[in-house]
Amino acid sequence: MSVFSGGPIRLEQGPIPLHYQVYQHIRDALDRGALRPGDRLPGERELCDFYSCSLITVRRALDELTRDRRLVRMRGRGTYVTEAPVERNLQLLGSFTQEMRAAGLEPSSRLLAAREEPASGVVAAALRLEPDAATIYLERLRLADGEPLVLEEVHLPAARFPGLLEEDLEGGSLYGLLADRYDTRLDHAEETIEPVALGTREAELLDQRRGRPALLIELLAFDQQSRPVEHCRSVVRGDRARYRVAAQGSRAILDLR
């Protein structure tokens, strides 16, 4: 592996901790693609020799990269590069298509269900509809570079979007379609996030094992007149999701990894 070939690297004594210098060297290799998902890193002793440092220093650096979810350490098998988590900024209301393209990934969707159905009590209350009012129900599997990331269920008020079920709901952005055909632009949203374990069907669709950790995100999106437009329930793979919130007043950052 070219990243760890050649002579040993001499870490600098000074204000930057040694373990962080090791961390940064490996992180740079990950970010520029010199280390790719599935690559196996040299053993800890080999890394000690390469960086001319102690085992504790190497382990601290690997622990940090594991917490970043850039590496996975398997007992008896070694340390491997994982897929980088896909980060979303919760301050921005954007479509999955926009977010994935901004991350350098190719988005796609698989339409699992598309039908008109009466609103449940929860959906009717959220969308300010009469009980059992007609809604458009969509279930879609969202993929990035062909890998499933999100399983989502969407409800929209049917009266507001006539003919929507006749449109291409698999090949493009739903938000873009609502804007272009129905002159409805989503302006802001309320979201709740909670950890869950994947059920059998969810795990199968997301290519995960049953019981693996995931995030359940419930979103209610509003138009520019603050009218509710979309009620969405998404199950997101826990191993690929990272959500970021910046609170401007306190300058605090919440990073849900």
Integer Cα distance of 99 and 88 in angstroms: 7
Supply the pLDDT for residue 95.
66
Residues 161 and 233 in one domain: yes
**Which pLDDT does position 33 carry in this prediction?**
84
d(CA 177, CA 167): 9
The pLDDT of residue 251 is 45
Of 24, 55, 81, the one marking the end of a domain is: 81
Q: Which of 31, 47, 81 is the last residue of a domain?
A: 81
Q: Is 88 exposed, middle or buried (0-12, 13-18, 19+ CB in 10 A)?
A: buried
* Number of domains forming the structure of the chain: 2
In tens digits, the chain (257 residues) has pLDDT values of 678 877 678 888 888 899 999 999 999 998 888 898 889 999 999 999 999 999 999 999 999 998 888 898 888 889 999 877 666 655 556 667 677 776 677 788 899 999 999 999 999 999 999 999 999 999 999 988 888 999 999 999 999 999 999 998 987 788 889 999 999 999 999 989 899 999 999 999 999 999 988 989 999 999 999 999 999 999 998 877 766 665 555 444 444 43
CB 106 within 8 A of CB 145: yes
In this structure, the answer to whether residues 77 and 177 fall within a common structural domain is no
Residues 137 and 218 in one domain: yes
Per the DSSP assignment, residues forming a β-bridge with 51 are none
DSSP element (H, E) containing 193: strand 186-197
Please indicate, yes or no, whether residues 59 and 186 belong to a single structural domain of this protein. no
Domain co-membership, 97 together with 149:
yes
What lies within 8 Å, CB to CB, of 63 at 6+ separation is none
CATH number, domain containing residue 45: 1.10.10.10
**Are 167 and 150 spatial neighbours (Cβ–Cβ below 8 Å)?**
no
What DSSP assignment string belongs to 98-126? Answer: HHHHHTT--EEEEEEEEEEEEPPHHHHHH
CA distance 242 to 102: 15
* CA–CA gap between residue 169 and residue 109 (Å, rounded): 8
Q: Are residues 72 and 114 in the same domain?
A: no
The pLDDT score that the predictor gives to residue 250 is 45
Query: Which of 81, 96, 111 is where one domain is finished?
Result: 81
Same structural domain, 76 and 119: no
Q: Residue 120 in contact with residue 135, Cβ under 8 Å?
A: no
Same structural domain, 48 and 65 = yes
CATH number of the structural domain spanning residue 226: 3.40.1410.10
User: Domain check: are 94 and 197 in the same one?
Assistant: yes
Which spans in 132-244 are helix H?
Answer: 174-182, 200-205
Q: What is the pTM of this model?
A: 0.68
134 plus 249 within the same structural domain: yes
pLDDT of residue 1: 60
Q: 109 and 144 in contact (C-beta within 8 Å)?
A: no
Residues 128 and 72 in one domain: no
Could you tell me the two tokens for 106?
Answer: 């190719």
The boundaries of the domain holding residue 61 are 2-81
Residues 69 and 107 in one domain: no
